[in-house]
Amino acid sequence: MVFDSTPSLFNNTRSSSSDPYSEEYGNAMIVRAHPLGTARANNNVNVEGARGPGLEPCIGLEFDSADDAREFYSVYATRVGFRTRTGQLYRSRTDGSVASRRFVCSKEGFQLNSRMGCPAFIRVQRRDSGKWVVDQIHKDHNHELGDVEESRPPLLPQRTPTGRKSSAKVSSKSKLKFLAEVDDGQPCFSRSISFKRIKPGGDGGQPKAEPYAGLVFSSVDEAFHFYLRYADEAGFKTRIGQLFRSKNDGSITSRRFVCSKEGFQHPSRVGCGAFMRIKRQDSGTWMVDRLQKDHNHDLEPQTRTHTKSSTASKKFIDEVNGGLDTLDLSEINNGVRSNISQGNNIGSEWYHLLLDYFQSKQAKDTGFFYSVQVDNGVCMSVFWADGRSRFASSQFGDAIVVDTSYRKTNYLVPFATFVGVNHHKQPVLLGCALIANESKESFIWLFRTWLRAMSGCRPKSIIADQDMAIQQAIAHVFPGTRHRFSMWQIRAKERENLRSLSNEFKYEYEKCIYDSQTNADFNTMWNALVNKYGLKENVWLKEMYEKRESWVPLYLRGTFFAGIPLNESMESLFGIFLNAETPLVEFIARYDQGLEQRREEERKEDFNCSNLQAFLQTKEPIEEQCRRLYTLAVFQLFQKELLQCYNYLGIKIYEEGTISRYSVRRCGNDSEKHMVTFSASNLNVSCSCQMFEFEGVLCRHVLRVFILLNMREIPSHYLLHRWTRNAEHGLVCDVDSGVSCQELKSLMVWSLRETACKYIESGTTSIEKYRLACEIMREGAKKFCRQR
């Protein structure tokens, strides 16, 4: 698995200057480009007007960052008469960091009709000093240049206006219909739209709503709004419950509207039995045929000032494909009433592009899922996952990374990913999202949606940013899941808050973080550190100490994180394909290209595991056992631990009944030792290093004890199914594993579906294979019949 090593914690900071725009050092000019309209002129460089004679790219021109170089080239391009794009980037073979970048003319390449292979570009390369220097340049274009000042696209995306009365009115009725199309109201597990802030109730002149058996409505929409008004007056909130269909023609025959506290799927729900069911009559009307008014919780009657209906929201519902008769809304009036609409960082043009893409994907992939958050009639966050990602979540969703590294820089679109680790130790996509804003509500919606798409299978651990909104959302949606802070963010905060301290401090700081073995060790070293350097009042260090269980390795080793290193950040799954400047028109193509490359890498490892075999390095039977079961990547990790165990001595220091305890220390190094406890009754073993708990593979200390005990096989409960060659082709149905019936059924569905998809792909490659596939299916059908 490839990880992107984070740059040094404490980079050299650039020298300050009274002029924020430019400095001259020798023959090289360091340019700090500012957004257009905010920079000022100095040293013959006019950024605001972009007409200064000094604004010419040349070999050796130096910048503080790649972003500065991009902005400089953009300003130069505006003056000359062309537009720019960000081209390729090149990474270091040593540590994978970005070593150089190309900024090109917008007409470079031939991917679009508007492009004509223009060769103009500049390339900047990162030096050891941290500066970026122009090392290649081509100024000539193969097309006419013109004034682009008026038509130049903005540097930042336009934001959807919110908070006004008109925000509930969407610009295109057809777009809304397209967004919510569901066949005749049928529940659709691959798309859902949630509406917030629908405030039911009538105007002051309406009589009090009171449902009763036999009450007749002309439409489902009318019945729903009636129940909304009744609920608001009675003091509870509602949700849309089940619908029932005719066995003859599949049309909807009845619907249930329930109290928002019905069921137990969420901590706020208490199994309330209140509901109203309406049934379709032969005349086309809908009549209340079942009713339960009693609640098992306290009600909170609303004042009339809070019961005014939202005309805009009602109009929006009415416009979406003809009302509720043809729309199955999964979350209406779900108990969340925000008084202020949140801002939206997603440009409105993105929704049309993505929804077109989603519909095309659903035509090919029955497992494709997407959901759009709608707040007060305005589209907000978007989530999607194809069938392959959803299946991967059922197998590898135990430890996930919520990658929001778009926040590192000024991305054009807030693109986030859910990433896991597959059985080859490779990053695997578990879902994608565009996040409208960084509020707690946005992240709660995002995590709930991901959980719903993954059939409710909760992860054991999550690596995500430290922000309070994310912390609160994870605690709300994933109670009991361990949240570990993203390393890239911690590194950035360390550079920001500790950069002025000495190298001696840096050494002692990292020793405290990474070498502490016990809580007492860490507390002693931490207190000594802050006292020695007078940092008791450092606000950031105080906060990080309070949150130490979410980032210090000592406190995280006992939680399964699929072996994702504690001192590194996972490489972006899409790598060079999606970056800060990816334009709208290229996003989908690059997304598909990056995803296909990752999956091709996985297919290669699948092929290697099926056709290659690792060499054995010892004569231990457990090595042969693990070679047969593990993937090549995981076996390589196991084999390394097995070979290392011969460098350790194991001594029994305690025995009582079936429990034995061993001290395992490295030969010639008494300071490196660990305690291994073994139970002969149930073959349970534990080590103080906690490698198995963190990575799911036994450590060298435990293997040393197993060899001492002459164990010929590793107990099955220490061979995690997720690391085996068959991780994607079957399930371990262990009743003691804690998997619920619902989760087990979901796992079986995804496993069979994925296997069937691969089987179909192989069976359609030729007529011979098609005939063979048909024959195999017929034989399989006969076996099923015999099992009945």
Over the stretch 539-577, which tens digit does the pLDDT of each residue have?
A: 999 999 999 999 999 999 999 999 998 877 777 788 778
Residue 320: other Cβ atoms inside 10 A: 25
Confidence of residue 179 (pLDDT cuts 50, 70, 90): very low
Asked whether residue 74 falls in the same domain as residue 114, the answer is: yes
Determine the Cα–Cα distance for residues 182 and 177; give it in Å rounded to an integer: 9
What is the token pair recorded at 684? Answer: 């349970």
**Within a domain: 5:** no
Q: How far apart are CA 589 and CA 670, in angstroms?
A: 57
Tokens of 236: 């509870």
Cross-strand pairs, 665: 649, 673
Q: How far apart are CA 123 and CA 57, in angstroms?
A: 10
The three-class DSSP label of residue 145 is coil
User: 105 in helix, strand or coil?
Assistant: strand
pLDDT at 200 over 70: no
Q: What average pLDDT does range 206-230 have in this prediction? A: 84
- Name which of 260-264, 323-327, 612-616 the model is least confident about: 323-327
Q: Angle at the Cα of 85 (from 80 to 90), degrees rounded to 5?
A: 125
Q: Please tell me the distance from the alpha carbon of residue 602 to that of residue 460, in angstroms, as a whole number.
A: 24
Number of other residues whose CB lies within 10 A of the CB of residue 44: 10
Predicted local distance difference test score (pLDDT) of residue 91: 74
Q: Give the largest Cα separation in the chain, rounded.
A: 91
Do 661 and 718 lie in one domain? The reply is yes
Q: Is residue 173 part of a domain?
A: no
Query: Between residues 342 and 3, which one has the greater pLDDT?
Result: 342
Give the helix ranges, DSSP H, for 216-261. Answer: 220-234
Domain boundary among 113, 138, 163: 138
Tell whether 248 and 374 lie within a shared domain: no
The reply to whether 397 and 456 lie within a common domain is yes
Residues 287-301: tens digit of each pLDDT: 999 999 999 888 876
| 615-628 pLDDT, tens digit each | 999 999 999 999 99
In a domain, 316, yes or no: no
In this structure, what are the phi and psi dihedrals at residue 685, rounded to the nearest 5 degrees? -140, 150
Instruction: Give tens-digit pLDDT for 709-731.
Output: 999 999 999 999 999 998 876 55
Whether 781 maps to a domain, the answer reads yes
For residue 210, what are its two tokens?
């009171």
Q: Residues with Cβ < 8 Å from 544, sequence gap 6 or more?
A: 490, 493, 551
What the block records as the tokens of 631 is 């993937």
Q: What is the pLDDT of residues 112-153, one digit of tens each?
A: 667 777 889 999 999 888 899 998 898 988 888 876 544 333
In a domain, 46, yes or no: no
Q: What is the pLDDT of residue 8?
A: 37
Whether residue 475 is found in the same domain as residue 560: yes
DSSP strand pairing (62-63 vs 132-138): antiparallel
Element (H, E) at 596: helix 584-611
Q: Which two tokens stand for residue 594?
A: 């990056």
Region 601-610: mean pLDDT is 90
| Whether residue 565 is found in the same domain as residue 680 | no
In a domain, 583, yes or no: yes
What is the tens place of the pLDDT at every residue in 6-56?
333 333 333 333 333 333 333 333 333 333 333 333 333 333 333 344 578
Structure tokens at 337: 């009433």
Residues 647 and 549 in one domain: no
Q: Which amino acid is at 15?
A: S
> What are the beta bridge partners of residue 503?
none
The reply to whether 562 and 655 lie within a common domain is no
CA-to-CA separations, 466 to 6, 188, 351, 472, 562, in angstroms, rounded: 17, 34, 29, 10, 20
Which of 538, 568, 597 is the endpoint of a domain? 597
* pLDDT-above-70 percentage for the chain: 73
pLDDT at 572: 78
Is residue 261 scored above 80 in pLDDT? yes
pLDDT at 341: 44
Mean pLDDT for 96-118 is 79
Residues 522, 457, single domain; the answer is yes
Q: What's the confidence (pLDDT) of residue 148?
A: 59
Q: Is residue 469 part of a domain?
A: yes
Better-scored residue on pLDDT, 142 or 687: 687
Q: Do the domain assignments include residue 155?
A: no
Distance CA 519, CA 403 (A): 30
**Residue 42's pLDDT is what?**
35
- Burial status of residue 450 (CB atoms within 10 A of its CB: 0-12, 13-18, 19 or more): buried
Question: What's the rounded Cα separation, in Å, for the pair 497 and 495?
Answer: 6
Q: How far apart are CA 4 and CA 435, in angstroms?
A: 24
Q: What pLDDT does residue 586 have?
A: 85
Evaluate if residue 736 carries a pLDDT over 70: no
Per-residue pLDDT band at 344 (split at 50, 70, 90)? confident
Does 178 score more than 60 pLDDT?
no
Helical residues (DSSP H) of 288-386, grouped into ranges: 311-319, 349-364
Range from 168-172, 269-273, 432-436, 514-518 carrying the lowest mean pLDDT: 168-172
DSSP type of residue 723: G
Indicate whether 430 and 578 sit together in one domain: yes
| DSSP codes, 512-581 | HHHH--SHHHHHHHHHHHHHHTT-TT-HHHHHHHHTGGGT-HHHHTTS--TT--TTSEEPPTTTTSS-TT
Task: Evaluate if pTM is beyond 0.85.
Answer: no
Task: Give residue 411's pLDDT.
Answer: 59
Closest to 584 (Cα-Cα) out of 344, 345, 354: 354
Give the Cα separation of 115 and 368 in Å (integer): 32
Q: In whole angstroms, what is the distance from residue 757 CA to residue 84 CA?
A: 42
What does the block give as tokens for 291? 């009713």
Check residue 512 and give its pLDDT.
Answer: 93
Instruction: Give me the domain span that covers residue 541.
Output: 348-597
747 in Cβ contact with 454 (< 8 Å) = no
The residue from 292, 326, 359 where one domain ends is 292
> CA-CA distance, 539 to 531, in Å (whole number)?
14
Nearest by Cα to 507 from 3, 133, 9? 9
Give the C-alpha distances (Å, rounded to integers) separating 563 from 400, 543, 719.
11, 26, 15
Strands 62-63 and 482-485: unpaired
Selected residue with higher pLDDT from 2 and 477: 477
Overall size of the chain counted in residues: 788
Q: How many domains does the chain have?
A: 5
Which residues have CB under 8 Å from 36's CB, separation 6+?
A: 47, 48, 50, 75, 78, 155
Residues paired with 3 in a beta bridge: 570
Q: What is the mean pLDDT of residues 691-702?
A: 96
Q: Given a cut of 90, is residue 92 above it in pLDDT?
A: no
Joined together, the tokens standing for residue 708 give: 């001492």
Q: Of 10 and 504, which is predicted with more confidence?
A: 504
Same domain, 721 and 745: no
pLDDT at position 679 is: 94
Whether the Cβ atoms of residue 564 and residue 570 lie closer than 8 Å to each other: yes
Q: What is the pLDDT at residue 761?
A: 74
Q: Average per-residue pLDDT in the chain?
A: 77
Do 66 and 103 sit in the same domain of this protein? Answer: yes
